């Protein structure tokens, strides 16, 4: 399995984390506050997302910024797991929006996202998610919305998609665990990969909420929920390894706070982001 070779050689190869504000967890050893670098990487992720969304017909070109980016307000409030190539280009990305225990349904991106047939399911979705939010509050867990998953075409048939999801599980464990939700498209197999790791259809009173057509993104969506501490047992040891390795990947902060490191140098970042060259396109997970 190629993933095994990647783990043995350098698990963190190609990964960079963007932290919202100054909220870099103490477990990370390579934090750096650099607004310019943060902005460049975030814009790279938004540009990758934008090119894929437009090519898939999920959005229209005029919905992008003049420089081709798909921008959402939640981006700056979220963590972002990125894969970058040797030229520092973002070739894969995923957004991790963590809500604190006690968050309300109205604070979720999902509360504003249901469209088309999904609007008919809105009352059931709201009821099911409120139960999850209450459970997260009682357990003291974050409630996470996963989204913005995009992988360039050259990496689409590699282990990168699986690798990123295992890393997200590992990231969550570093932060104390979470209950998570994703509106995952069936296009390009995004939802099936999430199911493989441990995602399950969101359910209300034991009844699964069916997939629905999202008129905004013009594709079939599934609402998948999962608890990061209870993955498919097959992947538990991998997640543990990713969790340990993520402590040593570069974490770029947007706010110039004291990170305990030399922020003027990005040499360590360059050393840590060796990854295959890539072009651009398919595979998305929207939220």
Burial of 106 (0-12, 13-18, 19+ CB in 10 A): exposed
CATH assignment at residue 94:
3.40.630.30
Say what the pTM is. 0.83
What does the pLDDT read at residue 159? 87
Q: How many domains does the chain have?
A: 1
For the record, the structure tokens of 70 come out as 């798909």
Which structural domain range is residue 34 located in? Answer: 2-285
The total of other beta-carbon atoms located within 10 Å of residue 4's CB is: 10
CA distances from 233 to 1, 79, 238 (A): 17, 26, 10
At what angle are helices 2-10 and 236-246 packed, to 10 degrees? Answer: 30
98, β-bridge pairs: 144
Q: From first to last of the 287 residues of the chain, give the pLDDT tens digit.
A: 455 445 444 443 489 999 997 566 778 999 999 999 999 999 999 999 999 989 888 889 999 999 999 999 999 999 999 999 888 899 999 999 999 888 999 999 998 877 666 678 889 999 999 999 999 999 999 999 999 989 988 887 788 889 999 999 999 999 999 999 998 877 767 788 889 999 999 999 889 999 888 777 777 888 999 999 999 999 999 999 999 999 999 999 987 544 444 343 433 433 343 333 333 333 334 43
């Amino acid at each position: 399995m190629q993933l095994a070779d990647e783990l043995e050689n350098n698990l963190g190869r190609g990964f960079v984390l963007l932290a919202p504000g100054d909220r870099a967890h103490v477990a990370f050893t390579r934090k750096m506050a650099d607004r310019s670098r943060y902005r460049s990487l975030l814009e790279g992720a938004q540009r990758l997302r934008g090119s894929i969304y437009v090519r898939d017909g999920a959005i229209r070109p005029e919905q992008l910024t003049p420089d081709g980016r798909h921008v959402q307000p939640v981006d700056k409030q979220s963590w972002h797991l990125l894969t970058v190539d040797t030229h520092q280009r973002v070739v894969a990305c995923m957004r991790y929006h963590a809500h604190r225990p006690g968050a309300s349904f109205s604070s979720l991106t999902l509360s504003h996202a249901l469209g088309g047939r999904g609007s008919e399911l809105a009352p059931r979705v709201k009821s099911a998610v409120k139960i999850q939010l209450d459970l997260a509050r009682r357990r003291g867990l974050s409630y996470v919305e996963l989204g913005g998953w995009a992988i360039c075409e050259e990496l689409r048939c590699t282990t990168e998609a699986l690798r990123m999801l295992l890393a997200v599980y590992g990231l969550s464990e570093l932060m104390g665990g979470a209950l998570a939700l994703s509106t995952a498209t069936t296009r390009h197999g995004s939802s099936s990969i999430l199911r493989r790791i441990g995602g399950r259809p969101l359910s209300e009173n034991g009844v699964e909420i069916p997939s629905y057509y999202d008129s905004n993104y013009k594709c079939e969506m599934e609402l998948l929920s999962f608890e990061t501490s209870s993955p498919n047992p097959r992947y538990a040891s991998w997640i543990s390894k990713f969790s340990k390795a993520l402590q040593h990947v570069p974490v770029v902060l947007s706010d110039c706070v004291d990170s305990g490191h030399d922020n003027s140098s990005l040499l360590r970042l360059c050393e840590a982001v060796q990854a295959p060259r890539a072009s651009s396109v398919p595979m998305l997970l929207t939220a």
